[in-house]
Amino acid sequence: MAGSAPEIRDRAEEWPVLSSTTPFRGKVTGVRTDELRMPDGSTAKRDYQLHPGSVAVLALDDAGRVLLIRQYRHPVRQRLWEIPAGLLDIPGENPLHAAQRELYEEAHCKAEEWRVLLDFYTTPGGSDEALRIFLARGLGEAQGDRHQAEGEETEIEIARVPLDDLVRLVLAGELHNPALVAGALAAHAALNGAGPDALRPADAPWPARPFSAP
């Protein structure tokens, strides 16, 4: 008799932590070493990056083009095309508010309609970073003064690319930023499937990074 099919849904689980140290902590992230009790009774050490979490915005204009920015990323020695994104570096901050801030600061834009596009862990084998990507529509220019960029943000370039072209470039291996790659493919699937209104609301719960409602 065949066994029942497994439930295809991630579930919370935590193996016992026997000891934990933080050998490095920088301005934003750190590195933690945990000694775990494995299910077979043995122990193992795991090193991973501590990360506050991130948000990103797949912003579509009325012509079906995605708002992109390009900036230098030193660890990979490349200037990457990305979607607006930023850190959740204020504890308990509402992720929607953070995403709206990043869209304003990086592109001086606002959007009228917001939905949660997808949530994922960027590198769960080596970091606890959780990323929420929003789908933003009704794109327009923000009012007021432009944000004063600093550091590598002063070199930001901005472009708008049709979503279909973006998917083609992703599949051709021309684009590599994970938020852009995942966001473009998810948006294409959503818009060509059940539609954006079937996506979760912008204030949907996010167990990986709990937040308070406004």
So which residues are the catalytic ones? 153
Distance CA 115, CA 93 (A): 17
Q: Write the CB contacts of 136 (distance below 8 Å, at least 6 apart in sequence).
A: 57, 58, 59, 60, 99, 103, 111, 113, 114
| Contact (CB, 8 A) for 48 and 127 | yes
Q: What's the farthest any 2 CA atoms get from each other in the chain?
A: 68
| Contact (CB, 8 A) for 46 and 122 | no
CA angle 83, 178, 130 (to 5 degrees): 95
